[in-house]
Structures are given as structure tokens and as C-alpha cells.
Structure 1
Amino acid sequence: MTKKLVHTMRMPIRWGDMDAMGHVNNTVYFRYTEQARIAWLESIECLPNPEGEGPVIVNAHCTFIKQLKYPGEIEVTTLVGPAGRSSFETYYEIRLVGDDGQAGVLHSEGGAKVVWVNFPAEKSAPLPDGLRQLLPAARTN
């Protein structure tokens, strides 16, 4: 599948992100990717409009490769796949930032399917042309 890099951002690992086991709780990885997705959507002026249309996710997944711990800083890379009529896939990679032996090492990867929705109608809607143009072209055989 064709993927296109669209956004990279750094964020701190917060003390409150950890759980009783002393590592970042699994649910927090989804918060990290959510923050990255919203930052990208904001940068391309595609935030949800509750009175109109906007993006929602219909599923999300994550593979936890290595533990993250406080203190630290991560980099979340966002990639996107080709557009469907009303949806596209997003993919995420989370790496630790810094100068120790773990910097740049992939700590998790995952993704989420984004569907463009008409909120008042509670139905999917075609992706806006401006967003569609930012997504990679679908491969044809």
C-alpha cells in the first residue's frame, strides 16, 4: 500500500502518562496519536465542525514494541494512505527522542481509519477535494 508522510511532531512524556507498572500506559499511546492527528488536521484546516462535516475515526490499533518511560520526549510520525470515497487510513510511528541508546528506536506503530462525516445527518460524506489532493494516489494494476 502507498503511504505518504504528512506530519511529524514531538511531545513530552508526562509523569501522569505512566501507570503502576512504571511505564507509559497502553491507552496513552492512543492519546499521543490522537494529538498528532489533530495537529495535522489543524495544519491543513480540516478540523471537525459539529454543525457541518469533519473527520472521525472508526477504528484504531497499536503494536507496542518497546516501553516508554518518564522522563522523555517522543516523536510521532503520521503517514496516510490513498483516499476512498469518504475515508482514508492513517499510520503512526512513535520513536523516543534524545541522545541515549534508545533515541530513534521505534517504540510503537499503529493506525486509525478516518471517515469524513456529515454530523447533522449522521452519515459519511465524500472527502473534501482539498483533503483528497493531499493523500497519495491509489495504486492501479
Structure 2
Amino acid sequence: MDSRKLVHRSRIAIRWGDMDAIGHVNNTVYFRYMEQARIEWLETLGRPFEGTQGPVLINAECSFLRQLKYPGDIEVCCYLGAVGRSSFQTTYEIRRVDTAEVIVAEGSGKLVWIDFKLEKSVPLPDAIRLLLT
């Protein structure tokens, strides 16, 4: 059973500059697409990355299933997974808008709530935990 929850959809235009010398979107850009969706979602939680504590990405991965090429638009679906004491898991699906049934990439990232001054993880604040659950 899938325990993740869809929390955000982001539509992003593929830019000419996203492509590499081979003529397809460079693999590093997929991480930017996931980052954009993640930041947009976090902003809906009340900008939790402004202040003395906030989320920091501690790992990220991506499986590249199909090439993307300019021009076109994609949709990045951001899902919330397991929520722990000080962290939460996110997963992503990237699709071309014109072929929504075809997933072109899947990714994930784990975010840890930290105290920026101490540079240490701290428990998720109750208000953030409530928004995540």
C-alpha cells in the first residue's frame, strides 16, 4: 500500500538552457525541477525556511526513465512520505504535460529539521508536524 500523500503539483516550462550538448535536458536539471516543486510546497506551509530553524535536504536521488527535450512543459508531483522525529521524506514524479500518463523521472529527497545556528537536527516543531500529518 502506498503511504505517501500528494502535497503539491508544479508546472514548469522546459527551457532551452536546460538542455546539454547531446540535445536533451541535462540530468542535473531534473534535481532543479524537484527542488522547485519542493520549495513551492514548503512555501504553502508558511515559509518554514525563514528563521532560526528549518528544513535542509540531506539526500536526493533520481531515476531517469525517459529523455526530456525542449520545447515543452512538465508537471512535477511532490508527495510526502514518512514523517520522523526530526525529518520527513519526499518523493517526486516528473511527467511531460502533453503525455501525462508517462513518467519521465522519479526521485526522492529526505529533509531534516535543523537549528541553523547549532547546525544540528532538532525535533520537528509541533506546528510543522501538524501541517505534515
CA RMSD of aligned residues (A): 1.3
Provide the rounded CA distance (Å) in 1 between the counterparts of 2:48 and 2:130: 16
- In the other structure, the counterpart of 2:88 is 88
Tell me how far 1:96 sits from its aligned partner.
0.3
Report the TM-score, using the length of structure 1 for normalisation.
0.88
Opposite residue 62 of structure 1, the aligned amino acid is C
Correspondence for 2:130 among 109, 129, 133: 133
- Residue pairs, 1:46-57, within 5 angstroms: 46-49=47-50, 51-57=51-57
% same residue:
59
- In the other structure, the counterpart of 1:27 is 28
- Residue pairs, 1:41-120, within 5 angstroms: 41-49=42-50, 51-98=51-98, 102-120=99-117
Correspondence for 1:122 among 116, 119, 124: 119
Provide the rounded CA distance (Å) in 2 between the counterparts of 1:37 and 1:56: 11
Task: Give the gaps of 5 or more residues in structure 2.
Answer: none
- Which segments of structure 1 move beyond 6 Å, counting only runs of 4 or more? none
1:114 match: secondary structure: strand
Provide the rounded CA distance (Å) in 2 between the counterparts of 1:119 and 1:103: 39
Tell me how far 1:81 sits from its aligned partner.
1.1
Report the TM-score, using the length of structure 2 for normalisation.
0.93
Higher helix residue share: 2
- What are the Cα deviations for residues 88-133 of structure 1, in whole angstroms up to 9, with x where unaligned? 11000000002xxx34310000100000010001100111223222
- What are the Cα deviations for residues 57-91 of structure 1, in whole angstroms up to 9, with x where unaligned? 00000000000000000000000112111001100
Task: Give the gaps of 5 or more residues in structure 1.
Answer: 137-141
